[in-house]
Structure 1
């Protein structure tokens, strides 16, 4: 622990106050402070028991100018954590103990050496503390460790238990578009949902969102069509906890004019496709380039069939299904306005 020392003396340059074993030679020192820091001074007692001395030492000659015998007494600590902890999750630890400078609470495998540590927090942060469990299974220990000596002052056995996750993806997924993912899982710190090519390594990621944003999440689809996987990934270990195969492509898109279309009248359009709010059903001239401005358009979210005003002039026209986020034309159908 830390303790205070009041002192009087010459305060020569670099003189110091120290604590050492009672029979230590005059030039011995452990924790010390220069007298230039004033009185009282704070020293840190060794993590030991028995007879010690606090000494005023003249730096120039290493002569002990004054000393006082002290006795170092035992200290104790206590830690309380859940007996079962989901792998990779955050959990709270209540603790009591000396709270020496830089003492810490940690979680380690049950048979780990005393100086081992994984996730930890300094006791100076108070009680309770939050630790992150390893993404592992089996027997572990939560420990109070004295920083100075790495001595384990208290420990509690805990068991790390399995966790699961699930994913539900809205399809079809349009290249370059966005899609929604509903998920369930542990929501550990910085866990994420991502989409990657099918068979990609566990630590691969492309478009992703942290799970702390809630469910559902919106991901950006790859530009290239093909087979992919949506994954729930544990940030700590990069382990894939759940995955779902998906196909990136337009899916089946069709357009059809129901009945005849009269100039300046109403066109009834039956269609099939993704039906996202951002998508549009458009009417353009039959020979219009792909980037042509629509003569008429309506949001696909209005459903099928939908009604649109026909062009004012008779002629050949084209219906187009456009994904507005990528600009891609997913389907087209020519028709005649009389």
Structure 2
């Protein structure tokens, strides 16, 4: 069942996404986060394919420009480029540009949408921006405020927004507000199929919107449900491309929503599955016609805190790995892990998503690399609500190394060790007195076992075996690299 999430536009009769007049610009996210994976493939790969599909159904009489951000430089909020002007009618050229993108940098959403609007001459003519983003604004700007500004200054400006694999919280709120404030629509895609579907709607030829008519609907759901769970319930009513069913806060405007989907994919028996909000409180399930023109049915429901636990050792070593156990809701956007003590639900250091494993979840999680006071956390929808927490103290990392006092050049050296096994920790050869940036040969610390083998340096002389965590040497042991009897010597290392 499709689970594209949307927020309705402010106007009563929404335009279709592809305008029948004026020009459009696609603003595409090519920031570093687009290297993230969904179902084993990178998001940038999936975006390329979805754009290809969109162009196949894009109206022949409609032009489409292209603005991209984050594709050239890391850490640069000015990395925004108009690759194709709004009057572009060359589908092949646009496809070629998208296929060449290499994600690298920041997420300057606000400045990119502004650049697209200016390229469209939005103060002089009808203009539409289609934004695809997988993250929140990272360049100290407010997409929501920009939307209100463009709506006020533009002749007929619309921003239609697709949130791609977007977590609950600030990122989603920013993009929903950008769309809503311009009379546009927010669509959410959580996987490759939904991204293709969303972009397909962008390319859909305009169709007239019929005036709303009185309709009846019914919702058969419980009075109470646990937060962050998935609720399956019965619903009956009209099925259409712009009717939706979902959760909204009690007393919120009729067009508002928190989670939901359109009624087109409703099964014949009228069964619906929705993600329950992560924050306990009073809500409604609404059956809404034409994205807000009429609520055909509503059902009051209380969202109660879920039964959740998270547990691990009271004290752990910095830079190590620890097994956490947890119980509670499972899902791709709930996680357990470490966060600084007392900080907001969005604070995060290391963790693991809660994958379905039955009544209890176990996960190996990297510990923080800096000693101090932290919390184990069970967080719903990545940053919406802390469902469970437990204090934990992270102590200074320490290690021991055992190995031969001497070795021949370029020969295997077996090393026994004890120490933290966190991701990125390594053991290797360094110059005497050197640091973690002066390695000669090395190997990552394995997850299992208490020994490993590393090839000795080719040069003769004095070296040290080093145990390195976060570029810091936490243990070292001197070793002499000497030639075998009768072998020619090499230059000695300092």
Cα offset for 1:148? 6.1
Alignment of 1:225 with 2:494, yes or no, is no
Partner of 1:121: 352
Conserved 8 A contact 1:102-1:124: no
Alignment of 1:21 with 2:249, yes or no, is yes
Q: Which runs of 5+ in 2 are unaligned?
A: 1-228
Cα offset for 1:149? 5.1
Cα offset for 1:51? 3.4
Partner of 1:12: 240
Conserved 8 A contact 1:18-1:33: yes
Alignment of 1:96 with 2:327, yes or no, is yes
**Over residues 222-269 of structure 1, what are the superposed CA-to-partner deviations in whole Å (9 max), with x where a residue is unaligned?**
2233332211223xx23212112333333xx7xxxxxxxxxxxxxxxx
How many pairs are equivalent? 255
**Over residues 140-174 of structure 1, what are the superposed CA-to-partner deviations in whole Å (9 max), with x where a residue is unaligned?**
11011122652212111112234432223324333
Partner of 2:261: 33
Instruction: Flag the 1:23–1:202 CA change in 2: closer, same or farther, 3 A.
Output: same
Cα offset for 1:107? 0.9
Partner of 1:299: none
Conserved 8 A contact 2:322-2:365: yes
**Over residues 197-246 of structure 1, what are the superposed CA-to-partner deviations in whole Å (9 max), with x where a residue is unaligned?**
23433233232233437455433222233332211223xx2321211233
Which residue, 416, 423, 441 being the options, matches 1:207? 441
Which residue, 407, 414, 430 being the options, matches 1:196? 430
Partner of 2:312: 81
Matches of 1:79 and 1:86 in 2, distance apart? 19
Which residue, 281, 287, 295 being the options, matches 1:64? 295
Conserved 8 A contact 2:247-2:285: yes
Instruction: Flag the 1:200–1:8 CA change in 2: closer, same or farther, 3 A.
Output: same
Instruction: Flag the 1:13–1:189 CA change in 2: closer, same or farther, 3 A.
Output: closer
Partner of 2:277: 46
**Over residues 80-121 of structure 1, what are the superposed CA-to-partner deviations in whole Å (9 max), with x where a residue is unaligned?**
211122222222222222336521112122233331111111
Conserved 8 A contact 1:2-1:100: no
Partner of 1:244: 477
Matches of 1:60 and 1:141 in 2, distance apart? 41
Partner of 2:395: 161
Instruction: Flag the 1:70–1:111 CA change in 2: closer, same or farther, 3 A.
Output: closer
Conserved 8 A contact 1:33-1:42: no
Which residue, 371, 380, 384 being the options, matches 1:150? 384
Instruction: Flag the 1:62–1:129 CA change in 2: closer, same or farther, 3 A.
Output: same
Partner of 1:313: none
Conserved 8 A contact 2:467-2:473: yes
Partner of 1:291: none
Conserved 8 A contact 2:379-2:386: yes
Q: How does 1:265-280 map to 2 (within 5 A)?
A: 273=485
TM-score by length of 2: 0.47
Matches of 1:23 and 1:187 in 2, distance apart? 51
Note the aligned Cα RMSD (angstroms).
2.7
Q: Which has the larger radius of gyration?
A: 1
Conserved 8 A contact 1:171-1:179: no
Partner of 1:315: none
Q: Partner of 2:365: helix, strand, or coil?
A: strand
Q: Which runs of 5+ in 1 are unaligned?
A: 254-272, 274-320, 323-327, 331-338
Matches of 1:206 and 1:76 in 2, distance apart? 51
Matches of 2:237 and 2:373 in 1, distance apart? 55
